[in-house]
Amino acid sequence: MARPGRPRMPKAPLPASVEAFLDMLIAERGAALNTRHAYERDLADVCAFLKKRSRDIDTATTDELKAYLEELAGRENAKSKGGGKTAVRTIARRISALRQFYGYLVSEGKRSDDPTSTIESPKQTRTLPKILSEDEVTLLITTAQKQGGPESVRLVALLEILYATGLRVSELVGLPLTSIGPESRYLTVEGKGGRERMAPLSEPAQKAMKAYLDVRGKFLLTDRADTQGKWLFPSRTSESGHLTRQRFAQLLKELSRLAGIDPERVSPHVLRHAFATHLLKHGADLRSVQKMLGHADIATTQIYTQVVGDQVKETAEKHPLAKDGTGTV
């Protein structure tokens, strides 16, 4: 982050091949804008390393990429005082970005070889998701209700919708007003890769939504109606016109302090985890939870069965809807 009073340093231009790859992610694969930004940051870091050695990413060799990964490991280890899981995840993600980039170059005939083909990703141990108990989620909601005013009504709606649907935070804050179904019974959500799904709303979420819609106008500015008006959760200050992920996370931290819950344990993603684990705990099946979360692969959803215990895991995995056509999960 730039220091106060200093202008931001301009970004170094990326090679045309990288820009073309990033454009392809959105145009052909339907990747989200946040995904594009993540790949851009990863590949920009590789480009900066190679540029210092008078090399470029288009023609980089396997040895040069291994040298970059060694340097990256050193940086990550120093940053996290020994590295650990964070360093491993960063390196694995960077290798994945490089593999996809060079796979694209090969498919486009811009390279005949893939320099990442002999580079192995570090082994990762899956971290169990952090969750809140049902009582803690209830405490957050009741604490928000006690604050009063439009801000409180909006926060309650955000919490109830997130806990009822398990939406990703980017999906939640970026909901258009048109996503609301009849009588606020469900939301139509566009997830990763442009995949659309319906998210049913619980009765408390429906009530919170209706209460919020009565005060939604308080968050609109008449001179920005063109950029704000289409969003379910408009913002007077954000460039996008809607509430940002960062602001919602900040509101959650402030709320957790008021509720007497450690702010380090609370985030929008933790509430998404709570939604999934609490559903499984009460007998929901993996396939249904997968669809509600918008996971492309059920293996991603299965991590939650490790949180809720062996008995619930067995129930979730034996449910007929949790099996594919071959009878396996």
The two tokens of residue 81 are 């005082």
The encoded tokens of residue 29 equal 């694969």
Query: 146 φ, ψ to 5°?
Result: -75, -15
Catalytic residue among 55, 66, 99, 192: 192
273 catalytic per annotation: no
Both tokens of 242, joined, read 């809607």
242: annotated active-site residue: no
Q: Is 157 helix (H, G, I), strand (E, B) or coil?
A: helix
Q: Which of 39, 104, 154, 168 is catalytic?
A: 168
272 is catalytic: yes
Cβ-based burial of 323 (10 A; exposed 0-12, middle 13-18, buried ≥19): middle
Catalytic residue among 94, 242, 272, 287: 272
Active-site option among 269, 291, 313, 323: 269
Report the distance separating Cα 224 and Cα 248, nearest Å: 21
Distance in angstroms (rounded) separating the CA atoms of residues 185 and 279: 19
Catalytic residue among 55, 89, 207, 295: 295
- Return phi, psi of residue 118, to 5°: -105, 10
Q: Which tokens in the block code for residue 238?
A: 């954000």
Strands (E), 146-289: 186-190, 196-200
Contacts by residues 136-139 (CB-CB < 8 Å, ≥ 24 positions apart): 136/259, 136/261, 137/163, 137/271, 137/274, 137/278, 139/259, 139/260, 139/261
**The dihedral sign for the CA sequence 277, 280, 284, 287:** positive
Q: Which residues are catalytic?
A: 168, 192, 269, 272, 295, 304
